[in-house]
Amino acid sequence: MPLPPLYGHEGTRNRLAGALASGRLPQGLLFEGPRGVGKQRLALWLGQALLCERNRGRGQQEGCGDCRPCRLVLTLSHPDLHWFVPVELERRAADADKQVELAEEALGEVLAARRERPLYEPPSGMASHGIASVRLLLRKLALTPVMGPRKVFVIGDAERLVAQTGAEAAANALLKALEEPPADSVFVLTTAEPDALLATIRSRVVRVRVARLADSVVTAFAQRELGLVKEPSLSQRVTAAEGCIGRLLADGGVERGEGGERFLHAVRSGPVGRLSFALGLQPFQARGAFTAMLDELLARLRSEARAGKDSGKVVSAIARVLDARELAQGNVNPQLVAAVLGEDLGSPR
């Protein structure tokens, strides 16, 4: 099933098309904006324009949508368009090459599911761009383009790039690739949390702000792509989406960060409330939801830090949540991690 059309973002698209036509498009871009606003779809639109066969050598602007490369992009099948999304590895391997194979397999499964159902929901809280995914990307970066003059790498949810002790060489190689990408390659990273990215990554890309959509655009998407023409609550759902089409596809049509808010409430309610919250978590099945809750908590704390609220205490809390987030990537019991984190955040410093 082909990707649905890209809705809205005309101003950003015009600027990118102009840069393409004049040969001034940077090789490293960071699309940043609210979660669900369409950053990755915009990145795929740009990838289509870069790989379009009919526009080649004519001052490229937008993909024609009819040539073979365009059709392959729209079905997520173009061999020179590499879309890296966060994945969760179900198995572990001591051998680095085997880990790369597992990452490629997991990524292939996610993309196969998106070919079948292009209107996808956000990745689980446990999914990340681990070091195996980085090594896979570097391998593909070294390959010659298959069909055209260039390769395009889209790294969605780039804030989930995970630093890993002992894998500094691969991380440094990725930074080097972003700083001096091969002449035949273009990188497009997307993030809803630019401050969560390493400063070294932010300094190597050109940042592009992707704004919220008008309610009329979100309504048009809901009616044409989701078939909600006669949905009685359409107006409420559009309003709740706050200019972000992806929120129509999330649970209940809205991402509210309620998990993080409930955890903070439990922390402030005292030892009994903290322990009750921790014991109320599912010990194994809910690890993805637990990590998503930690992500919500991080976003809230970073917002407080930017507002200047008791910065020392907030920074300390962020560090503790980041430690818990790292633990959550392993085979740990969320109840235990939540109990320890709650005690750390609730104790006076």
Both tokens assigned to 47 = 């990838």
71 to each of 41, 151, 295, how far by Cα in Å?
15, 16, 36
| Helices 334-346 and 258-268, axial angle in degrees (round to 10) | 60
Paired sense of beta strands 81-84 and 151-155, if any: parallel
The number of residues making up the chain comes to 349
- What's the helix, strand, coil split of the chain in %, to 5? 55, 10, 40
Neighbours of 291 (CB within 10 A): 24
Q: Which two tokens stand for residue 105?
A: 């397999």
Question: What pLDDT shows up at residue 96?
Answer: 81
Give the per-residue pLDDT at 95.
84
* Separation of alpha carbons 260 and 125, rounded Å: 13
Q: Angle, nearest 10°, between helix axes 168-179 and 131-141?
A: 40
From first to last of its 349 residues, the chain has per-residue pLDDT tens of 889 999 999 999 999 999 998 889 999 999 999 999 999 999 999 999 999 988 765 555 788 999 999 999 999 999 999 999 998 887 777 788 899 999 999 999 999 999 998 888 778 766 888 888 999 999 999 999 999 899 999 999 998 886 655 556 666 778 888 888 999 999 999 999 888 888 888 999 999 999 999 999 999 999 999 888 877 888 988 998 899 999 887 644 334 445 777 788 888 888 888 888 887 776 554 456 677 788 778 877 877 777 776 667 888 888 888 888 777 766 677 888 888 888 888 876 5
What three-state secondary structure class fits 113? helix
Are 11 and 42 in contact by the 8 Å Cβ rule? The answer is no
- Which tens digits make up the pLDDT trace of 169-194? 666 778 888 888 999 999 999 999 88
Q: Which two tokens stand for residue 52?
A: 């379009």
**CA–CA gap between residue 215 and residue 217 (Å, rounded):** 5
Q: DSSP letters of 194-207?
A: GGGS-HHHHTTSEE
Please state the separation of Cα 10 from the chain's center in Å. 22
